[in-house]
Amino acid sequence: MLKKFFISLLWVLLFAGLGAMYYYQTTFDSRLKDTNARAKSIEDKYQVYSDDLHDFDVRLIGHRKHINQNSQRFFGLNEDLEDFREEHSSDMFYVNARIDSLGSIVESNLLALRNRIDDVDRKVSTLRRTVTQNNVRATQQIQDLSREIQKLQTEVAELDSIKQNKRGFR
């Protein structure tokens, strides 16, 4: 009588275990698909962000090129003004006063231009730091997801081995 009870109990436990394994396997597959979908979404967002950053960087480089060209033009204009002043200093006091005024305007514009270049450089540095931080963060998230996937695969492998061991005991 006790023997039949234990055999019945073993059968019930066996079927309960198989049911639990089936339930965990099906939920694991859905969780794995969900994890893969989330990882793909993160990769897509990161790619879009990288593309936008590249476009922005290219635009900044173009702006800086124009700023440098204008800066060179201002330097050339300043040199031309100095040459003109030296040639006509004896007979053009009034013109020289105007040229001095224009030279100070050019110098203030040059200073403002230099400040703008420095501002663009700071913004580019800040942007690059932000991108680096985001790259590190994204890499860490991908590594975390990879570790989770490996952990889940290990658990599935353990469940499969348990399942095979139970089949061997029949």
DSSP string of the chain, one letter each residue: -HHHHHHHHHHHHHHHHHHHHHHHHHHHHHHHHHHHHHHHHHHHHHHHHHHHHHHHHHHHHHHHHHHHHHHHHHHHHHHHHHHHHHHSTTT-HHHHHHHHHHHHHHHHHHHHHHHHHHHHHHHHHHHHHHHHHHHHHHHHHHHHHHHHHHHHHHHHHHHHHHHHHHHHH-
Number of domains the chain contains: 1
Each residue's pLDDT, cut to its tens digit, for the chain (170 residues) gives 778 888 888 889 898 988 888 888 788 778 778 888 888 888 888 788 788 777 777 777 776 777 777 778 877 878 877 877 777 666 567 766 777 888 888 888 889 889 988 898 898 899 889 888 988 888 898 898 889 889 988 988 888 888 777 776 55
Tell if the pTM clears 0.85, that is, is over it. Answer: no
Instruction: Look up the domain containing 146 and give its range.
Output: 2-169
Q: Which domain CATH number covers 66? A: 1.10.287
